[in-house]
Amino acid sequence: MGKETTIYDIAKELKLSPATVSRALNDHPAITLKTKSLITTKAKELGYRSNKFASNLRRQKTNTIGVIVPRLNSYLMSTVLAGMEKVANEAGYNLIISQSLESQKKEIVNARTMFDGRVDALLVSVAYDTDSYEHFEAFINKKIPLVFFDRVIEQFDCTSIVIDNVKGGYEATRHLIDEGCRRIMHVTGSLKRNVYADRLRGYRLALAENGIAFEEDWLVVTDLSPEAGRKMAKKIQQLRPGFDGLFVANDSCAVSCMGALKQAGISVPGDLAVVGFNDDPLAEVIEPQLTTVHYPGKEMGEIAMQTLINHLNGSLNMHPADLIVLRSELIVRQSSRKSQAQGTL
């Protein structure tokens, strides 16, 4: 990489004083438009980069907002980011995104990169295994707005945006019970994370309300990958006739499980009724189509970003520990309609 261009280089080339160049680049009223134009053209030509550190001391703004997500290869996360981009663009902010790949270690590096990059604000959905939160303290101390979404934590007085995961888990399980299921397996992710812990609470609540005794081996904690779905299918096969219902905490895992069950000759929903979570496009492509909980990802992204931008613009003071809860909705499709498939209720 070449040497960094400074205002001295620009000054030298144009035979002007460094002070004039500095003022022009900072849009100082004492400099004529003509001179400003001359200087900015030369600055561009020489590849001058504004000294963010110095200019931050004055403006404190980079118009860049950082987002840390667990993984980018999920439909849900891409819809959340689409919502964030939409609102950020309209407000003149640019997003930079990094993924923790579900690792706390990487999340710490990401947070540091965002902090050193002087983002105006940070949005985070935490990794599977994160269990200390010191890497976010620098933002709190520096009063850089910090918002958590989807996978949130309670350690700081930050605004959090979530869906009602207890309700989502409850409705999914209650629906399976209504369809005649009595032995319902629940496949989920790390219970350190609110989204999975709360869906489990909803599941257990629905069982309890309907007089079904939960058994420890009904609950399986996985990484919710498609591979985990295929493994689950094998387990279900071996236990046959063990379970008559299956509630999986995301669709990509549920769909791969269904695919493997079908190949093994197990009928969905006849032998096993299945409900997923998120409402990925996959859910409508598989046959039978997958019953799932619709997750308003784009809306979550829009609201998270709007809340943040209102705060940055001073039009809204985020109240410490604000919690915004969005509506989710059970979408009933064929994969769970056991009562129809068997003609018995």
If one asks whether residue 325 binds its own copies (CB under 8 A), the answer comes out as: no
- Residue 34 CA to its chain's centroid (Å): 47
The minimum distance between CB 272 and its own copies, in angstroms, equals 18
In the bound state with its own copies, the residue whose beta carbon lies nearer, of 75 and 203, is 75
If one asks whether residue 263 binds its own copies (CB under 8 A), the answer comes out as: no
Q: What angle do CA 281, 79, 187 make, to 5 degrees?
A: 60
C-alpha 135/C-alpha 109 separation (Å) is 9
Helix (H) or strand (E) holding 259: helix 251-263
If one asks whether residue 316 binds its own copies (CB under 8 A), the answer comes out as: no
In the bound state with its own copies, the residue whose beta carbon lies nearer, of 116 and 217, is 116
Is residue 124 within 8 Å of 147, Cβ to Cβ?
Answer: yes
Binding residues among 48-107 for its own copies as defined by CB under 8 A = 49-54, 56-57, 60, 62, 64, 71-73, 75, 77-79, 81-82, 85, 89, 94-99, 101, 106
In the bound state with its own copies, the residue whose beta carbon lies nearer, of 3 and 15, is 3
In the bound state with its own copies, the residue whose beta carbon lies nearer, of 211 and 281, is 281
If one asks whether residue 319 binds its own copies (CB under 8 A), the answer comes out as: no
Q: What is the 3-state secondary structure (H, E, C) of 167-225?
A: HHHHHHHHHHHHCCCCCEEEEECCCCCHHHHHHHHHHHHHHHHCCCCCCHHHEEECCCC
In the bound state with its own copies, the residue whose beta carbon lies nearer, of 96 and 153, is 96
Binding residues among 109-148 for its own copies as defined by CB under 8 A = 109-110, 113, 115-118, 120, 138, 141-144
In the bound state with its own copies, the residue whose beta carbon lies nearer, of 205 and 331, is 331
In the bound state with its own copies, the residue whose beta carbon lies nearer, of 120 and 179, is 120
Question: With DSSP H G I counted as helix, E B as strand and the rest as coil, what are the percentages for the chain, rounded to 5?
Answer: 45, 15, 40
Reference 119, options 93, 137, 141; nearest CA is: 93
If one asks whether residue 285 binds its own copies (CB under 8 A), the answer comes out as: yes
If one asks whether residue 237 binds its own copies (CB under 8 A), the answer comes out as: no
**Amino acid identity, position 97:** I
The minimum distance between CB 4 and its own copies, in angstroms, equals 5
C-alpha 233/C-alpha 213 separation (Å) is 23
Is residue 197 within 8 Å of 191, Cβ to Cβ?
Answer: yes
Q: CB neighbours (10 Å) of residue 253?
A: 26
In the bound state with its own copies, the residue whose beta carbon lies nearer, of 47 and 241, is 47
Interface region with its own copies, contact rule CB under 8 A, candidates 31-39, 195-203, 205-213, 281-289: 281-289
The minimum distance between CB 60 and its own copies, in angstroms, equals 5
Question: In 3-state terms, what secondary structure has residue 64?
Answer: strand
* Alpha-carbon torsion, ordered 277, 281, 282, 285, to 10 deg: 130
**Residues binding its own copies: what is the number (CB under 8 A)?**
58
Helix (H) or strand (E) holding 216: none
Residue ranges binding its own copies (CB under 8 A): 1-4, 47, 49-54, 56-57, 60, 62, 64, 71-73, 75, 77-79, 81-82, 85, 89, 94-99, 101, 106, 109-110, 113, 115-118, 120, 138, 141-144, 226, 252, 255, 259, 281-282, 284-287
